[in-house]
Structure 1
Amino acid sequence: MGAKSWWDRTDNRVLEGVLALAALLFGVFGVLIPVLGVVGLIDPMDTRDVELDVTTRVPGAVKPVTADYGMTLTGTDRAELGFVHPDFGQRLLLALPEITGSLLLLFVLVLLLRMARTLRSGDVFVPKNARRLSAIGLTVLVQSVLSPLLPAVTTALLVRGTDMADRVPFAVTLSGKYVLLALLVLALAEVFRQGTKLRADTEGLV
Structure 2
Amino acid sequence: MNDTTWWARLNNRALELIIGLGLLLVAFADVLIPLVAIAGPASGSHDVRAVHVRATTEIPDAAASGFDRGPVSVSGTDHAVLNIADPDLIERVLLLLPTLTRGVLVVVMLLAVLHLAQTFQVRDFFAARNTRRLRVIAVTLFLIGAVVPALDVITTHLLVSGHDVQSTVWTPYDLKVGVVFLALLVGGASEAFRRGTRLHADTEGLV
| TM-score by shorter chain over 0.5 | yes
Compared CA separation, residues 7 and 147, structure 1 to 2 (3 A) = farther
Letter in 1 for 2:120: L
- 8 Å CA contact 2:9–2:121 kept in 1: the answer is yes
| Number of aligned positions between the proteins | 199
Q: What does residue range 1-206 of structure 1 map to in structure 2 within 5 Å?
A: 4=4, 8-40=8-40, 43=43, 45-53=46-54, 57-58=55-56, 64-68=58-62, 69-206=70-207
List gaps (5 residues or longer) in structure 2: 63-69
Q: Which amino acid aligns with 1:36?
A: V
How far apart are residue 186 of structure 1 and its match?
0.6
Deviation at 1:183, TM superposition (A): 0.7
TM-score w.r.t. the length of structure 2 is: 0.88
Moved over 3 A (4+): 1-7, 41-44
In structure 1, runs of 5+ residues without a counterpart are none
Compared with structure 1, are the counterparts of its residues 3 and 22 closer, same or farther at alpha carbon in structure 2 (3 Å cutoff)?
closer
What residue identity is the alignment partner of 1:35? L
- In 2, distance between residues paired with 1:180 and 1:6? 36
- Seen in structure 2, the aligned counterparts of structure 1 residues 128 and 7 have a Cα distance that, compared at 3 Å, is farther
Given the two structures, how large is their TM-score scaled by the length of structure 1? 0.89
Amino acid at match of 2:19: L
The verdict on how the C-alpha distance between 1:6 and 1:197 changes in structure 2, with shifts beyond 3 A counting, is farther
Query: Offset of 1:130 from its aligned partner?
Result: 1.1
Q: Which amino acid in 1 is paired with 2:174? A: T
- Tell me by how many angstroms 1:83 deviates: 1.2
* The 10-residue stretch of structure 1 (117-126 or 14-23) with the greater mean CA deviation from structure 2: 117-126
AA of the residue aligned to 1:134? R
Counterpart residue type for residue 95 of structure 2 = L
Which SS does the other structure have where 1:81 is aligned?
strand
Percent identity, aligned pairs only, is: 38
